[in-house]
Structure 1
Amino acid sequence: MKKIHFIISLFVLAIAMGCSEDTSTVDLDAVKAPTNISALTTVTQDNTGKVTFLPKGEGVSQYEIFFGDGTTAAAYVSPGETVSHVYKEGVYQSKIVGTTLNGKRTEVIQEVVVSFKAPENLVVVITNDLSVSKKVTVTAKADFALFYDVYFGEAGKPDPISANNGASVSYTYQVAGVYKIRVVSKSAAIKTTEYTEDFTVTLVNKPSTSAATPPNRQATDVISIYSSKYTDVAGTNYFPDWGQGGQGSSWAEFELNGDKMLNYIKLSYQGIALADNTSIDVSGMEFLHMDVWTADLQKIETSLISKTNGEKPVVKDLVAGQWNSIDIPVSAFTSQGLTVADIFQLKLVGTPWATGSVFIDNIYFYKAPSAAQTIQLPLDFESSTLTYAWIGFGAADFGPIPVSMITNPDKSGVNVSNKVVKIDKPSGAQVWAGASLSLDSKVDFAKGTKIKVTVWSPKVGAKILYKMEDSTSPKDGNGNPTINVEVEATTTVANAWEVLTFDLTSAASFNSANSYDKVILFPDFGVAGAGSTYYFDDIKQF
């Protein structure tokens, strides 16, 4: 029986692929085991003991339900479907198994309580979400109950939402206000048990736009604690609980159109801690920067904490309802006697205490760049003072792939320069793996709308995708700038340098008025990584 159901699932997949215009193959070996397996279990209130299972999970092609009452045969259920089973009164350990198309299985044991007594000792907890406006969570638990229904009381939404006894269910209202929330706890008995509460649904004031994007900086000119623009200090803990939870404070990472920011809720004080035994020397930096948005805080106090001699604070006023761009001179801390060569923690304190919430982004130390330090087209990578901060992406685990500046390994043919960019595409890397470099100024297209790149490829026929982005443009659902241009070229020689040309005007998205300030290279685009290495040099306009 199991084999038949698995074959059917593969057949359905084959039909779906056959009807699609996408001819790419599916790597079944790469499919991961199912996650978040559970089942909503409901029972009819008629003393029959008829229980209905609605299994849930991620990455599941089919479920098996073992009822736990001595029934030997499993019930097979497709995603979104239900199965019913009649129990005698008692407590049973059911087993829900989720299976993927490649046969990987995840199973959970779930208790099923079948009682012909009405639920007793019903306890209901209703809370507003601390970071999402108008979102309410209900948790209900009672003796003898199997599940409960929640009527949230919003006009036009008469149907209840069901949850297992003791589990939680959430609902987001259209409008804040007072609503009559009714909870009906149910067992297999005819009689149910109810709880009703007039509950105030609240707003969470939050920003509707992101903070300004930080400028391009050399890696030597910035030490980033939290930003998407720069590379953050590794291992930083943005939510170490130093006892704030006991004062009613909380925290979350808030995401706005793909842009993540820290959210400290009812801020009393909050720490930011570097990894164990880690500290940073900011004595060579000039300012500490952060962007702060609040609806109800009047001031924020920022302290740097030194391993050597404690902490010193600086207080800044805040304007509600807008982003506050704050730059604190490092000298404001050192003038108080603080040693800043071994900073290992930061502390933030809100005024009023434990009352208002803040959203914080772009926390970093920086110094003014030298006038001679600029990364812009043309790029030949020969500078001894510039830091070419390439960032790799698209490894098998979606992390970074190796990218580095190295001595030219093949000084021959069209490229005898000293320094080149090395991009490894390891086995299993994503088809879109590559590396990006931020420029210090936007590209001036008066110098040309075609790009030449000198490329060394290990094979003929490798597609090289050249892309440029405006990093300040709005982000898409994946957090990538929406203003960009992409052009492909194909290698014609193997294990030798050649010059590839990318005509930007051939792309419909290209507009010379756009502020492109990032260069991205995709080696062997469209092909999964196979452990190959590519080299790039001399990115020039003409």
Structure 2
Amino acid sequence: MKKIHFIISFFVLTILMGCASDNSDIDLDGIASPENISALTTVTQDNSGKVTFLPKGEGATQYKVDFGDGSAVSEYISPGATVTHAYTEGVYTAKIIAMGLNGETTEANQQVVVSFKAPENLIVVVTNDLSVSKKVTVKASADYALFYDVYFGEAGKPDPISANNGESVSYTYQNAGVYTVRVVSKSAAIATTEYTTEVTAKLVLNPTSAAPTPPNRQAGDVISIYGSKYNNVAGINYFPDWGQAGQGSSWTEFDLNGDKMLNYIKLSYQGIALADGTSIDVSGMEYLHMDVWTADLQKIETSLINVGPSEKPVTKDLTANQWTSIDIPISAFTSQGLSVDKIFQLKLVGTPWAGGTVFIDNIYFYKTAAQSVQLPLDFESASLTYAWGGFGDAGFGPIPVSVVVNPDKTGANTSNKVVKIEKTSGAQVWAGASLNLENTIDFTKGTTVKVNVWSPKVGADILYKMEVSTSPKDGNGNPTVFFEAHATTTTANAWQVLTFDLTTAPNFSTANKYDRVILFPDFGQMGTGSIYYFDDIKQSN
């Protein structure tokens, strides 16, 4: 272990190390080396060749610059400081050397073009950010140039922002509108080259990312009105209008790369109505949930309407340009005297009235589960549904998976219910079954998982995998945050407990919110029609 033993003042120690001891042994092994090292290089426009380096990076406490022309390397400089060096005309490869707190260094090469010709063939590309309102990015490049200045043209912001030639620089305006952007490309020559254009700083008026994915729940713990996670109540009208077209209000279903959501435009009041003559009883639920995105509404008022009709509102603040997840206690409605046993409509009102647009996803009522599908799993509950899904048969469809009566109540497992996975003849080497958990795994309970396994053969590789189901997907649609652990059966036609040490699995991290269990029987081998049983999936220390 690498350590530095030193005496340091209480004040500095508190800031740097979060420790109140005056005599400290600091373990530096866990400190990462500096990253993303570069330097802004500027040059004076006087034919002197004086180039100034402003090193940048993450985790660096000091920098040196090897100028790349055979001269001596600079002394160390602090973050935010600069160093200047005079070059003769030419193209050089400088080296930025960044040192971290633990003495580890990271190097990055930086091309330095020193030319006494004015920049030529200036090309400027201006783009609007698709996800951040009023954000504009400029990228400029020119022959013989070392860097460029951008004047973004907003009142009260006269100073330019500099960037290396060929790199990008971004700016977020305070207000949407049209601005004059001036780009000044510079070399070591006295003359500069300029480009001026008008740009429009635009509001982003729709979400560019999906709403948060709701958690897994048992069917009896949720009543879904809209969304793709749960089964929605049938026959719902998401745009009864109620005469609001005269306010300019309208509706559509917005499709964000296949993810659909409700879109109420110029929201005065709009609503959602169940099929004629139908209603839902939400008195057994605890909350109404919805995810709302807006660029211009300050508040949304939500009313439940019970048969009568009788309605009561609850108002929630919204945060512009991001998803606001709203959970309204059902008691917030019932405390106003509203019965919620026959809800047939929901009403939505915007603030300001008819002055903004909302996108809404994941509208559902829910309650806290009395029991949940979570580790440990023993499959004995009569009230829970263990929705295992098989995959990987010969045609890439599902292989048979079910919760069944234990066929062999002897030895290591005398419980009543177990999971049966049939690896059908010709099934893929990666055939298996998965189960979504309703609560993510809590690693304070242990980083070892034990599984009771009944295998028809000795030497079967049992692969235990967990995924974060909401993580970004790979090219095959599988979550990219996961770990895999292996164990091998040593007994045939009998129960045995296999142990999986998760800390030895590549990519495993206790910081990840794993919410899916996947079992692969006889991994790596084609299916032969064999049947495997699993039970008692639990953690241990």
Task: Please say which structure displays the higher CA radius of gyration.
Answer: 2
TM-score, L = length of structure 2: 0.49
TM-score, L = length of structure 1: 0.49
